[in-house]
Structure 1
Amino acid sequence: MSHVMNSLPTHTPAPESLAFRANLARLVSPLRRIRPTVPFWRLAAHRIPTLHLYRDLLRTAPTDHIHWRVRNIFRRNHHLTAIETTKRELTKGYKWLGIFQSAASGDPKWQAVLERYDRMVESKIEKEHWRDLIDKELEWQHRLKNRPILTGGILHATPVNPPIPRMKPQPMEISRIMVKRMKQREKRFAKLNTLSEYRDMARREREFEEGLIGKHVDGDKAVWGGKAFKDWAVQLSESSKTIYADLTRQTEKFLAPYPPELLEQVAEARRNKIENKTREHERERRGEILKSTFRRQRRGLPAHLLSRLTKDQVEQELIVRRSVAEVGYIGQLKQKKGWKLRTPKDEGKSEEKVWSVIDGTWTSPLFENALRKRGEAIMEENETRETETSTEGAATT
């Protein structure tokens, strides 16, 4: 087969064809699009001319207002990554640079245009000023609304974080620090495993070498055995001890006893939380609808209760769970279910009075007995009168 292939005639292109191909390659190669391996905003061919354009625009700006406008536009377009949009803005910048230079050289047309543009930008500066004030105020209100508050709990110490007060929401900076420490800890353990593998590898190489050339061999001829193995083992052990010391030091630092200042801060946060919740419940008892009120109204019962309670029991359980009242029908239900209800102070300072959950007032047993006897007397009188009226009507008939 190779003999047949070698015997086939070979056709060599004509010199004119070779010259045409070379000329075509020379003309087409510069037109080939070369895509850079990095984004265009990181290339010096884009960054340096853009900075020179920005400085020239600031240097040739005729007024302070136009100078402010140039800075504002470049600050707004600083993060552009689209090629077409960036090219359009740069073209606009070079056009402005030409206008500024023409006006500086004494062109009356462009001087009049820039004077009118300066007045327009002056009014825009005032609008931008008020818009910035509004944006800053809205940002500040958002920060106040979402600022971290102490919940009264403690985020217990771990090998990556010391004991800190639990906050809601937890600041992103703290979470990032903890994640970074976790990654560093993982890297240290991975390095320990690598050093252990190197130590085992050196020991196996020493055993293999001793098996080949014998245990009693000159130190200069041994690569892994004798003094060489001791040098390897010492270096690997020192590196492992350094990593272990860092891990132990970090763990002891974070697992230290809680400082008294932290405990006092957490206790103060718990007292404030109780005061805030008490004030919130008082507002709800007065009839005010709060965000927590809607959250409580949407609260349902767990599945294991819904499966074994009757319809009336479910209704009563929802009434008890969704209300903060402690008197009347709701107070009676809560008292029946064993809730610990709040008993206000007796304003009358009488030992005979008792707190009535149904009425929501202080009552006296003597007064209750008198009212009951009076009510029974009234009922008897009404029954007597009804009997007499019915007898007289029958006699008349």
Structure 2
Amino acid sequence: MTSRFRPSVRPLPPPHVFVPSLAQATRPAGVPFFRDPLHTVPTKWSLFRPLLKGSTAHPAIRRETRSSWREKKGLTSVPRVRVFLEEQYALLSKMIAPGTRSLERFECHLAEKHQRLDKMALLAAEQEQQNLHARPPRLTGAYHRPTLFNPPLPRLKPQPISISMMIHNRLRARERRMERRRAYASFLNDVKLETAFWREMEQAQKKGSGSDWTRGKDVRSPGGWDKIMRNEIEDMDKKFQRENRRAGMVFDKRLMGRVAKARSRKETWWKAQKTEGLSSDTG
């Protein structure tokens, strides 16, 4: 009869290492082994980091170690984790042992493997680019209605990346502009309050006989103390108005004619497909 409790996975040190505290420790109830500090901390500091440190002179082994640990990061099975740790401790023992030629052979084998993988990835990326260029976007017979971020456009399949990035960049720019305008409006209000305060202080001291120093005194802002911020707010408001005008644009007749032709071609193609399917079923 098998127990319903899963055994805990403890660090598996090399044969020549014995840690009594780990052998006598018990895992708290309700804590899975992959979250138990008695497993995670020694595994990280006594196995993973020594592997990286020992593979400094072997870049292929270092790369393979990182990728294998990243791949096995989600393991929750006790037997599979135990097998993986035993393999890694065996590799660490080879690194520690002096004058092992098997490590050099392993390095050469992994270097050839990584070279093949890199070549395959490069070919796959080139093939993907060729496929994208081989399939130019085509009209689907639908409309991409105008919004704050795009003018009236026809629906294309596949949609060009330039259009997607245009919408994305304009959306992020609008969010940043809204935050900046709120900040500038708050600063402008603070400047007005402070200017009014100092004006009242001067009038109280000189009984109103002094000149108004709150306008035109600073050469950096001849239009007033708040001129720079008002200009920034006006520029941002103009951009908001331009977005509103973009959202209110309409489709021109030429574009609507192209979309209508694409829709008719699509409907004709679907009718032909249905007719072909019915004829094959009756036959």
TM-score (norm 2): 0.47
Q: Which structure: larger Rg?
A: 1
